[in-house]
């Protein structure tokens, strides 16, 4: 199975000094926009960062201190005409500053470039100890590699799994436990840490027909994690929330709707307090191309999510983050590649201000 440049939602992150940074893959590298001050409203960019051979898919994750890790797949032609494939990463310690040099962590297949070429796009997360990265392997399962608390990368591990589709999704809970979600042909498979920093263990499969490239995860508090995906039959959004210790037979997903304009790709998700209530906020790109936003009480998916369109047509998947003032920032890319941003108003409820093209 070949890699696909599926949309991702985790491309807007708050850095060490409170400023937001937006990242976008580009030919042989990436583009970066940075807030000029914590909480905005000004931005700089786009700044082009050249990385020869970097494919147009990035997975980003951040530490509690605001350091950002960027992971991708690099393909390069060798002097003898062969193609080399490896997973590479860099770190941004402060917004707007230079990244560290890109470092290779190889693939699960060593010098076997035929199988290395068949790996999927990476998905990364930071747990209690440090970053971990996962990918669909050449056999359709999942492999992962992790960094320990001293910054040393361990070996690639075969995490099993089967019939995995691109792309994977990850999250980390408030107490530092990582979770991994893999849409598969005929099921949704997941792995979780039972304790912070521990090994990821398989959780019982959820019977489903997930759409490739539609997975997302969110820490739902109190030890819970919400897994989102779209149904392959109608693109309708599904969610399943489970906590450590919940019955293994609790595998019924909940539809999130209704919507008069079904969404596409993965959903962006975050938790905020709205009028004193813990709420989950979602953002998606609708089939008509417009961004849409919804919210529901965290942990009460059966209450439903009612979508409200906003802004103008976008491409890819929107992203959300909380700025330095704790306000929701929703960002999307215009069809010509420009960055567009809207910010939560200083008033009750979840009211967004006007969209601004950066």
Q: Of the residues 262, 277, 311, which one is the last residue of a structural domain? A: 262
Q: What is the pLDDT of residue 218?
A: 97
With H, G, I as helix, E, B as strand and everything else as coil, classify residue 114: helix
| 56 inside domain | yes
Running DSSP on this structure, what letter comes out for residue 291?
A: E
Q: What is the pLDDT of residue 2?
A: 58
Sole residue written with tokens 């209704």:
258
> Does residue 89 sit in the same domain as residue 166?
yes
> Does residue 135 sit in the same domain as residue 48?
yes
Per-position pLDDT tens, the chain of length 358: 557 667 899 999 999 999 999 999 998 999 999 999 999 999 999 999 999 999 999 999 999 999 999 999 999 988 788 899 999 999 999 999 999 999 999 999 999 999 999 999 999 999 999 999 999 999 999 999 999 989 999 999 999 999 999 789 999 999 999 999 999 999 999 999 999 999 999 998 999 999 999 999 999 998 899 999 999 998 999 999 987 667 666 778 899 876 667 899 999 999 999 999 999 999 999 999 999 999 999 988 988 888 999 999 999 999 999 999 999 999 999 999 999 999 999 998 899 999 999 9
Distance CA 296, CA 300 (A): 7
| 147 inside domain | yes
Q: What is the pLDDT of residue 259?
A: 66
Residues 6+ apart with CB under 8 A from 264: 235, 284, 285, 286, 287
Q: Of the residues 245, 262, 279, which one is the last residue of a structural domain? A: 262
Running DSSP on this structure, what letter comes out for residue 154?
A: -
> Does residue 200 sit in the same domain as residue 330?
no
> Does residue 291 sit in the same domain as residue 351?
yes
Q: What is the pLDDT of residue 248?
A: 66
| Total Cβ atoms within 10 A of residue 246 | 12
| 69 inside domain | yes
Q: What is the pLDDT of residue 261?
A: 72
Tally of structural domains, the chain: 2
Burial label, 193 (beta-carbon count in 10 A; 0-12, 13-18, 19+): buried
Residues 6+ apart with CB under 8 A from 80: none
> Does residue 303 sit in the same domain as residue 206?
no
| 7 inside domain | no
- pLDDT tens per residue, range 237-268: 999 998 766 766 677 889 987 666 789 999 99
Q: What is the pLDDT of residue 80?
A: 81
Q: What is the pLDDT of residue 249?
A: 65
| 293 inside domain | yes
> Does residue 70 sit in the same domain as residue 123?
yes
User: Which residues span the domain enclosing 351?
Assistant: 263-358
| 49 inside domain | yes
> Does residue 37 sit in the same domain as residue 122?
yes
- pLDDT tens per residue, range 113-137: 999 999 999 999 999 999 999 999 9
| 180 inside domain | yes
> Does residue 336 sit in the same domain as residue 202?
no
> Does residue 33 sit in the same domain as residue 101?
yes
> Does residue 56 sit in the same domain as residue 193?
yes
Q: What is the pLDDT of residue 245?
A: 66
> Does residue 123 sit in the same domain as residue 227?
yes
> Does residue 279 sit in the same domain as residue 247?
no
What is the CATH classification number for the domain harbouring 229? Answer: 2.120.10.10
Distance CA 272, CA 39 (A): 16
Distance CA 10, CA 269 (A): 9
| 19 inside domain | yes
Q: Of the residues 216, 240, 262, which one is the last residue of a structural domain? A: 262
């Amino acid at each position: 199975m070949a890699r696909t440049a599926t949309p991702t939602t985790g491309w807007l992150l708050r850095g060490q000094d409170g400023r937001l940074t937006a990242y976008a893959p580009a030919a042989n590298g990436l583009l970066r926009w940075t807030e000029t001050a914590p909480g905005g409203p000004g931005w700089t960019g786009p700044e082009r960062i050249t990385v020869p051979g970097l494919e147009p898919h990035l997975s980003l994750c951040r530490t509690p201190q605001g350091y950002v890790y960027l992971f991708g797949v690099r393909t390069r032609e060798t002097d003898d005409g062969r193609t080399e494939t490896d997973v590479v990463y860099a770190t941004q310690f402060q917004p707007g500053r230079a990244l560290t040099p890109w470092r290779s962590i190889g693939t699960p297949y060593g010098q076997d470039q035929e199988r290395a070429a068949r790996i999927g796009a990476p998905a990364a997360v930071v747990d209690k100890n440090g970053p971990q990265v996962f990918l669909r392997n050449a056999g359709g399962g999942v492999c992962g590699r992790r960094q320990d608390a001293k910054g040393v990368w361990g070996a690639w591990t075969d995490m099993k799994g089967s019939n995995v589709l691109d792309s994977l999704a990850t999250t980390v809970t408030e107490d530092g436990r990582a979770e991994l979600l893999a849409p598969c042909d005929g099921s949704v498979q997941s792995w979780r840490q039972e304790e912070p920093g521990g090994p990821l263990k398989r959780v019982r499969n959820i019977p489903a027909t997930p759409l490739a490239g539609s997975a997302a995860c969110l820490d739902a508090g109190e030890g819970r994690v919400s897994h989102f995906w779209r149904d392959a039959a109608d693109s309708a959004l599904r969610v399943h929330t489970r906590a450590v210790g919940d019955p293994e037979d609790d595998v019924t997903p909940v539809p999130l709707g209704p919507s008069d304009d079904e969404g596409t790709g993965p959903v962006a998700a975050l938790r905020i307090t709205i009028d004193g209530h813990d709420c989950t906020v979602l953002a998606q790109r609708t089939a008509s191309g417009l961004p849409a936003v919804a919210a529901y009480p965290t942990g009460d998916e059966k209450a439903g999510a009612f979508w409200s369109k906003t802004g103008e047509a976008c491409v890819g998947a929107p992203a959300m983050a909380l700025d330095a003032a704790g306000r929701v920032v929703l960002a999307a890319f215009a069809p010509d590649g420009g960055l567009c941003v809207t910010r939560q108003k200083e008033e009750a409820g979840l009211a967004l201000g006007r969209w601004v093209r950066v």
